[in-house]
Amino acid sequence: MTHYDAILLSSFGGPEGQDDVIPFLRNVTAGRGIPEERLEEVAHHYRHFGGVSPINEQNRRLKAALEAELASRGSELPVYWGNRNWAPYFADAVREAHAAGDTRLLGLVTSAYTSYSGVGQYREDFEKALADTGLSDEVAIDRIREFFDHPGFVTPFVEGVSTSMETLQSEGLSVDEVHVLYVTHSIPMSAADSSGSGFGPGGAYVAQHLAVASVIHDAAAPDAAWSLVYQSRSGDPRTPWLEPDINDAIDELVVADRVKAVVIVPFGFVSDHMEVIWDLDNEAIATAEGHGLRVLRVPTPGVHPAFVAGLVDLVLERVNDVPHAKRRHLSELGPWPDHERIGPADPAGD
Ligand SMILES: CC1=C(CCC(=O)O)c2cc3nc(cc4[nH]c(cc5[nH]c(cc1n2)c(C)c5CCC(=O)O)c(CCC(=O)O)c4C)C(CCC(=O)O)=C3C
Ligand SMILES: [Fe+2]
- Answer yes or no: is 122 a known binding residue: yes
**pLDDT of 262 higher than 70:** yes
Which residues, 6 or more positions from 300, have their beta carbon under 8 angstroms from its beta carbon?
156, 266, 269, 270, 271, 272, 276
**pLDDT the model gives residue 236:** 84
Q: What is the Cα–Cα distance from 231 to 181, expressed in whole angstroms?
A: 11
Phi, psi (deg, nearest 5) at residue 230:
-130, 160
- Answer yes or no: is 185 a known binding residue: yes
Atom of ligand 1 nearest to the CA of 277: 46
The strand order across the sheet containing 294-297 reads 225-231, 178-185, 261-265, 294-297
- Residue type for position 272: D
**pLDDT the model gives residue 257:** 74
36-45 pLDDT, tens digit per residue, is 888 889 999 9
- Mean local confidence (pLDDT), 257-265: 93
| Ligand 1 and 28: CB distance under 6 A | yes
- Mean local confidence (pLDDT), 9-16: 98
- Answer yes or no: is 113 a known binding residue: no
**pLDDT the model gives residue 154:** 98
212-237 pLDDT, tens digit per residue, is 999 999 999 999 999 999 999 988 88
Q: What are the structural domains of the chain?
A: 6-16+53-145+304-349 (3.40.50.1400), 151-297 (3.40.50.1400)
59-75 pLDDT, tens digit per residue, is 999 999 999 999 999 99
| Ligand 1 and 115: CB distance under 6 A | yes
Per-chain mean pLDDT for the chain = 96
**pLDDT the model gives residue 93:** 98
**pLDDT the model gives residue 253:** 93
- Mean local confidence (pLDDT), 11-35: 92
**pLDDT of 349 higher than 60:** no
| Ligand 1 and 219: CB distance under 6 A | no
**pLDDT of 348 higher than 80:** no
Contact between residue 151 and residue 328 where contact means Cβ atoms under 8 Å apart:
yes
Q: Using most ligand atoms within 8 A of CB, pick from 232, 243, 269, 277 the residue to mutate for ligand 1.
A: 232
- Is the complex ipTM higher than 0.90? yes
**pLDDT the model gives residue 38:** 84
* Residue 174 Cα to ligand 2 middle (Å): 36
**pLDDT of 10 higher than 60:** yes
Q: What is the Cα–Cα distance from 240 to 262, expressed in whole angstroms?
A: 26
pLDDT tier at 258 (50, 70, 90 boundaries)?
A: confident
Using CB atoms within 10 Å of the CB of residue 306, give its burial: 0 to 12 exposed, 13 to 18 middle, 19+ buried: middle
Q: What is the Cα–Cα distance from 1 to 104, expressed in whole angstroms?
A: 13
**pLDDT the model gives residue 37:** 85
- Mean local confidence (pLDDT), 283-303: 98
| Ligand 1 and 121: CB distance under 6 A | no
pLDDT tier at 315 (50, 70, 90 boundaries)?
A: very high
Which residues, 6 or more positions from 248, have their beta carbon under 8 angstroms from its beta carbon?
none
- Answer yes or no: is 217 a known binding residue: no
The pTM is what? 0.96
- Residue type for position 294: R
| Ligand 1 and 319: CB distance under 6 A | no
120-161 pLDDT, tens digit per residue, is 999 999 999 999 999 999 999 999 999 999 999 999 999 999
Atom of ligand 1 nearest to the CA of 271: 48
- Mean local confidence (pLDDT), 67-90: 98
Counting ligands in written order, the one closest to the CA of 274 is 1
Q: What is the dihedral of CA 222, 227, 232, 233, to 10 degrees?
A: 150
